[in-house]
Amino acid sequence: MTIHSIRKICCIGAGYVGGPTMAVIADRCPEIQVQVVDLNESRIAAWNDPDFSKLPVYEPGLDVVVSRARGRNLHFSTEVDAAIADADMVFISVNTPTKTKGLGAGQASDLRWVEACARQVAQCAQGHTIVVEKSTLPVRTAVAIKTILEAAHPQVADASSSTSFSVLSNPEFLAEGTAIDDLESPDRVLIGGADQEAIEALAAVYGHWVPGEKILRTNLWSSELSKLTANAFLAQRISSINSVAALCEVTGADVREVAKAIGTDSRIGSKFLQAGPGFGGSCFQKDILNLVYLSHHFGLPEVADYWQSVVSLNTWQQHRISRLVVQKLFGTVTGKRVTLLGFAFKADTNDTREAPAIRIARDLLEEGAQLAIYDPKVESEQIARDLNLPASSAPAAQAGPTRAALSGEGTWWPSNSVDEAVSGSDAVLILTEWNQFRELDWTTLASLMRQPAWVFDARAVVDPARVAEAGLMLWRVGDGDA
Ligand code: NAD
Ligand code: UDX
């Protein structure tokens, strides 16, 4: 078998996966030219910005990797057709969100962008092209991609055609916030396919920096299903620990002690046992719902119900937190100022997709709360889009509630610092585990708040003793003593 050596890669989709993944491939494979293309002109402009702090994705270490490769063998452009025509390997790394309408709405993945890419590749590719599914896709999507590619270039009917394709599945396992580490030292790289030459060509790309034993080869369907399953298993652990957190709160147990006690069992393991405000991010919910849809489709309703419960528990946890904030604040937050610390779905990212903060903030707005929101990386325009509500101007810290506020209309405004956000608040609700929230000076913050004041720590990052010393009341997720 001759291994087709890859010289030119095109990646369609310059998002959270396409951008960082291609930056690392370009960095580690200087002899491969990598073109990352996207329809979104402003995103591409941001990837090309001379100021590396303006890259469209915030990831620790990403700026350094991009600065080494960009302009050398890493290029960002909107010239999709030309990049496809030039490439011998095309990654499809476009968004696959949950469908919002039509057949499978609320569960199935919306494959319109993937299909558009397949058609564009079919139209523009030249010579033999290896098409790699990088997006997370339902099992058997590769059949659809192959069918589209082959319909454009029927090999049997048109023996003279010099265009041909191989389709591989190569799901991405990076987590946001640690994407560069995950890409540089992956637990494994998964390549699914039937064409051994194509598989080895892609394995050789990763082989530049990933040890051979970590490159797993499977059939296409196992690869596609493994990605959904990995996310489902990880999310299931979070729902499991969050269900136990609720039990801890009513029984006097502490979920961190329980997590440690069970996590030291090597069969269970200690990772992904951090109770919190429920999982967010663009992947977990979407991929489980996809699994639920597939299970129904293949006549397995019990399997579908099992995985659906992981998502339902997560939604319940988020509403549970907003409900208990209202209950602790004498049953009403109308006209009261509540500070939200953190809006991103986890620390070290500016991504807010499916962030627990969105559902919790909406619940509190619905109750008429006045929310001061501070996140070190999320822009206020993004928060306004997520809440579907424009920002109001911040009232003076010492001003009492206005008539409009007491009439029950929820409002929010962005804050530039924790101190500014907390001033005049009745409660602080911590929703993202940014490191800076671990070190807050609660005595100073308490003096800025309206008393009696609460700290609701949904990420368990504060030191309970320091909050108590400051004279603040504390609720901590999964803490039966708080
Ligand atoms: P994203 O929305 O950040 O990026 C997708 C990009 O594709 C967008 O910039 C969009 O403009 C572009 N695009 C869509 N259709 C296009 C087309 N026809 N031509 C050119 N560009 C097009 O999405 P993401 O977070 O990078 O996720 C991409 C895929 O990777 C999804 O399937 C997701 O499930 C999967 N995934 C995501 C993560 C993660 O942490 N975000 C991790 C693993 C896998
Ligand atoms: C996830 C998978 O981890 C990754 O392998 C896949 O490629 C994409 O989806 P991501 O969503 O970026 O990555 O971040 P992750 O670290 O998995 O966190 C997801 C959510 O779960 C976050 O909201 C996080 O705060 C939450 N979480 C995670 C917990 O609440 N507790 C934990 O113990 C771990």
Q: State if residue 176 touches ligand 1 by the CB under 6 angstroms criterion.
A: yes
**Burial class of 147 by CB neighbour count within 10 A (0 to 12, 13 to 18, 19+):** exposed
The number of the ligand nearest the C-alpha atom of 93 reads 1
pLDDT band of residue 154 (cuts 50, 70, 90) is: low
User: Any idea what the Cα angle at residue 86 is, between residues 82 and 89, rounded to 5°?
Assistant: 120
With cut-offs at 50, 70 and 90, classify the pLDDT of residue 159. low
pLDDT value of position 157: 46
Distance between Cα 99 and ligand 1 center (Å): 15
Domain ranges across the chain: 8-218, 314-476
Q: Which ligand 2 atom minimizes the distance to the CA of 280?
A: 23
Q: What is the pLDDT of residues 227-260, one digit of tens each?
A: 999 999 999 999 999 999 999 999 999 999 999 9
163 Cα: distance to centroid of ligand 1 (angstroms): 26
176 Cα–ligand 2 center, Å: 8
Predicted local distance difference test score (pLDDT) of residue 32: 98
Q: Is 360 in the pocket of ligand 1 (CB under 6 A)?
A: no
The pLDDT tens digits for 289-308 are 999 999 999 999 999 999 99
| Cα–Cα–Cα angle for 370, 376, 379, rounded to 5 degrees | 70
| HEC per residue, 201-228 | HHHHHHCCCCCHHHEEEECHHHHHHHHH
Catalytic entry in 59, 99, 283, 354: 283
**Ligand 2 atom 31: residue of nearest CA:** 274
H/E segment holding residue 90 = strand 89-92
Write out pLDDT tens, residues 347-369: 999 999 999 999 999 999 999 99
Angle at 204 between CA 203 and CA 208, to 5 degrees: 115
* 281 CA → ligand 2 middle, Å: 7
Does the CB atom of residue 21 touch ligand 2 within 6 A? no
434 confidence band (pLDDT: 50, 70, 90): very high
Ligand 1 contacts CB of residue 16 (under 6 A): yes
Q: What is the pLDDT of residue 134?
A: 97
Nearest to 19 by CA among 129, 134, 169, 98: 134
pLDDT of residue 211: 98
214 given a catalytic annotation = no
**Distance between CA atoms of residues 156 and 161, nearest Å:** 9
Q: Is the dihedral of CA 347, 351, 353, 358 positive or negative?
A: positive
Q: Identify whether 133 is a catalytic site residue.
A: no
Place of tokens 């080869």: 217
The per-residue pLDDT for range 418-431, each reduced to its tens digit, is 999 999 999 999 99
For domain 8-218, say whether CATH 3.40.630.30 is its number: no
- Indicate if ligand 2 lies below 6 Å from the C-beta of 274: yes
Q: Which amino acid is at 308?
A: Q
Q: Is 113 in the pocket of ligand 1 (CB under 6 A)?
A: yes
Burial 77-108 (b: 16+ CB within 10 A, else e): beebeebbbbbbbbbbbbbbebbeeeebeebb
Q: 168 — phi, psi (to 5°)?
A: -125, 155
- With vertex at residue 261, the alpha carbon angle to CA 255 and CA 262, rounded to the nearest 5 degrees, is 90
Query: Which tokens in the block code for residue 193?
Result: 């396919």
Q: What is the pLDDT of residues 45-75, one digit of tens each?
A: 999 999 999 999 999 999 999 999 999 999 9
Among residues 59, 133, 172, 367, the one annotated as catalytic is 172
If DSSP codes are grouped into helix, strand and coil, which group holds residue 162? coil
Active site residue 283: yes
| Residue-wise pLDDT tens digits, 202-215 | 999 999 999 999 99
- For 394, half-sphere exposure in the C-beta direction (CA atoms, 13 angstrom radius) is 20
Query: From atom 5 of ligand 2, which residue's Cα is the shortest distance away?
Result: 173
Say if CB 278 and CB 356 are below 8 A apart. Answer: yes
The Å distance, Cα 135 to ligand 1 centre, comes to: 7
Does any ligand 1 atom lie closer than 6 A to the CB of residue 13? yes
- Distance set, CA 34 to CA 51, 80, 228, 472 (Å): 21, 13, 27, 54
Q: Decide if pLDDT at 374 tops 60.
A: yes
The one-character DSSP state at 393 is P
* Residue 291 backbone phi and psi in degrees, to 5: -65, -40
Q: Given a cut of 50, is residue 156 above it in pLDDT?
A: no
57, 178, 209, 214, 279 from 185: Cα distances, Å: 20, 11, 8, 10, 24
- Which bound ligand lies closest to the C-alpha atom of 14? 1
Q: What is the pLDDT of residues 99-140, one digit of tens each?
A: 999 999 999 999 999 999 999 999 999 999 999 999 999 998
Which ligand sits closest to the CA of 39?
1
CATH fold group of domain 314-476: Rossmann fold (3.40.50)
